[in-house]
Amino acid sequence: MLIVNGVVHTMENGVIPCGFVLIKGSRIAQTGPMSALPEDAGPGGLIDAAGGHILPGFIDAHCHLGMFGDSLGFEGDDGNESTDPCTPHLRAIDAINPLDRCFSEARAAGGTTVLTGPGSANPVSGQFAALKTNGTWVDTMLRKAPAAMKLALGENPKCVYNERHETPVTRMATAAILRENLAKAAEYRDKLRDEEEDSPDYDAKLEALRDGDWEEWELQGARSSLCSGLRSMEDSAASLEDFVMGQAAAGGEETIPGLLEAVRQVTPERIRAAAGAVRPDTVYFLRGREGQAHEAL
């Protein structure tokens, strides 16, 4: 398939005012200005965008498609297991209805991939899944599961459990539930790794919480996305001015080349070390010329 005469928005090379997109099979094979259109690019169907905008498929990083059964009533409502404030072992893939009309509505609006999962009733709600919006069977739509762990703070858990006269009915209790279960998960993980200690009994909740992991291609994708965004700032006078003014206001001395190099140096070990240093009961205000974190009392 070939799409021509459109304003092509690429992920790496900016905007092409009048360009083409060549698709071979299920992959984008080439993009470029119309002047660079290959002579043999015709077979497979031709679409004239006639000056319209051609964009990559949108990714919704937080939604609940397929979880609440749009227009189906309670029998299709599987978004919140509001009977227990800590449910990390719940998996979105066990609840998603791929025939939910919201998937077709998302596709019509340009959304081709979503991260969907449980709602915010519980402080620890369960596991999200990444999947395509096109399909009728979750197994073929799925791209990654689990893709994230859903946590909720503030008024959502408060409202749900206040009606039940159960904890948590305050933000203090919500934070305490998070601290308690993350600490238990770390202890459970350490016992599993200790070869000299008997393995603990299997715990589905702690098993789900004990390790956060990712694949190298995901980390590389995150690096590429951040670097692309930083480089695009250099191409926009307004964005560059905002960056410089922001650094001046915060007393920072960062440069875009310096940030690009810092992103390239990110490794799984450094991410884990940074995550391990976070104290969940502390609020940080990241301000100050020295870049030190100041605790809010």
Rounded to the nearest 5 percent, the helix, strand and coil shares of the chain are 35, 25, 40
Check if the beta carbon of residue 8 is closer than 8 Å to that of residue 54: yes
Pick from 243, 246, 258, 242: nearest CA to 287: 246
What was the pLDDT predicted at 275? 64
Please give the radius of gyration of the chain, using alpha carbons only, rounded to the nearest integer: 24
What was the pLDDT predicted at 278? 53
What was the pLDDT predicted at 277? 63
What was the pLDDT predicted at 43? 61
> Distance of CA 204 to CAs 91, 201, 214, 283, Å?
12, 10, 20, 30
| pLDDT by 10s per residue, the chain, length 297 | 899 999 999 887 789 999 999 988 878 889 999 999 987 776 667 899 998 999 988 999 999 999 998 777 788 899 999 999 999 999 999 999 999 999 999 999 999 999 999 999 999 999 999 999 999 999 999 999 999 999 998 899 999 999 899 999 999 999 999 999 989 998 998 898 888 888 899 999 999 988 766 667 777 777 877 787 788 787 778 888 888 888 888 888 888 888 888 888 888 778 777 766 655 443 444 444 444 443 333
What was the pLDDT predicted at 295? 37
Tell whether 176 and 291 lie within a shared domain.
Answer: no
Tell whether 37 and 121 lie within a shared domain.
Answer: no
Number of domains making up the chain:
3
**Neighbour count for residue 140 (Cβ, 10 Å):** 11
Tell whether 8 and 116 lie within a shared domain.
Answer: no
Tell whether 71 and 187 lie within a shared domain.
Answer: yes
What was the pLDDT predicted at 65? 95
What was the pLDDT predicted at 279? 52
What's the domain range around 278?
A: 216-295
Spatial distance between the Cα atoms of 111 and 123, rounded to a whole number of angstroms: 28
Please work out, in degrees rounded to the nearest 5, the angle formed at the alpha carbon of residue 10 by the alpha carbons of 6 and 16: 45
Residue tagged 């080439």 (tokens)? 30
CATH number at residue 130: 3.20.20.140
What was the pLDDT predicted at 42? 63
What was the pLDDT predicted at 117? 96
Spatial distance between the Cα atoms of 108 and 154, rounded to a whole number of angstroms: 33
Count how many residues are written for the chain.
297
What was the pLDDT predicted at 213? 61
Tell whether 99 and 195 lie within a shared domain.
Answer: yes
Pick from 219, 211, 167: nearest CA to 193: 211
Pick from 118, 33, 55, 41: nearest CA to 83: 118
Pick from 123, 167, 115, 170: nearest CA to 146: 115
Write down which residue in 187, 209, 231 finishes a domain: 209
Beta pairing class for 27-33 and 15-24: antiparallel
Tell whether 39 and 78 lie within a shared domain.
Answer: no
Tell whether 189 and 150 lie within a shared domain.
Answer: yes
